[in-house]
Amino acid sequence: MIELSYSEAAMLAVRHEMEADARVVVLGEDVGRGGIFGQYKGLQETFGSERVIDTPISEAAIMGAGVGMALAGLRPVVEMRVVDFALCGMDELVNQAAKNRFMFGGQGRVPLVARMPGGIWDASAAQHSQSLEAWFAHLPGVVVVCPSTPQDNYSLMRAALRCGDPVVYIEHKTLWGARGLVDPSLEIPLGKSAHVRRGNALTMVSWSRQMHACIAACDALAAEGIDVDLIDLRTLWPWDREAVLASCERTGRLLVVHEAVQAAGFGAEIAATAAEATGCRVARLGAPRIPVGYAPVLEAQSRVSAEQIAQAARTLRG
């Protein structure tokens, strides 16, 4: 076990995969100097500029080149800097990477990892603070990953780089400095959730940075004698239906919490599936349908706090 930050854990995962597989390459803006969050620190010095490739400022070109590399047999890590900028490369991802295997009968595969840091970035306003994971979960042909801890960021990054299909890998912008113990030998398969806390009062499901607010809410609820069954999905597609539905069967109540706008968020898919399969009571908690403001008082309106989560749990429990 070693203590690493969220950023260091991801960098180490990419390094280990590059050492193990010469097909793994990195391309994107500023990756040669380590990336804006330090997530590629030291990789170009080790592997050279032919495997850690600095690109022009064109997300469409970066994503398009990554798709071509993948079809040619490489396993590229495609750096989008933040998910907001990835919108400039959506055609290459949505109409090419996601559909190639299906449209050509499996003759081509696109094993790329598109890194798109998401979520509210402190004092960064509406164009740099979006949570768009539901867009990609809606897209047939891609895997969607949202790690919440350094361990998950290490193990899931390695799993994503070994996946034969395109992976949209959404790390939270404000978790880069979060530290934790990492076991480099621990393998976590895509699609497997983590059971963070055990309880029978209700089931709570979340992912990414919002998990940390959920943990704080669960601590407050435990002091009131309300024990929550807390599940970190980690992967949104495929998501761990078996674990979530088993918990809902036992507790009879489900609260899904996410940082993304609640309207049409991925929480609706989880809630509907659980209600249809188990008949449990369901509730969702997400951000209001507003752009994230720059001023702290406006930004706070888009955040889902531990206090709000605890209150939603109390209301659901009745």
Please identify which of the residues 16, 128, 138, 195 carries the catalytic annotation.
128
Q: Are the C-beta atoms of 66 and 28 separated by less than 8 Å?
A: no
Of 152, 295, 157, which is closest to residue 233 (Cα–Cα)? 152
Q: Are the C-beta atoms of 127 and 118 separated by less than 8 Å?
A: no
Residue 78, strand partner residues: 27, 114
What backbone phi and psi angles, to 5 degrees, belong to 77? -100, 115
C-alpha distance from residue 189 to each of 104, 152, 186, 226 (Å): 27, 10, 10, 31
Torsion, Cα of 60, 61, 67, 69 (10° steps): -170
CA distance 168 to 266: 15
Q: Are the C-beta atoms of 209 and 152 separated by less than 8 Å?
A: no
Q: Is 172 a catalytic residue?
A: no
Catalytic residue list:
128
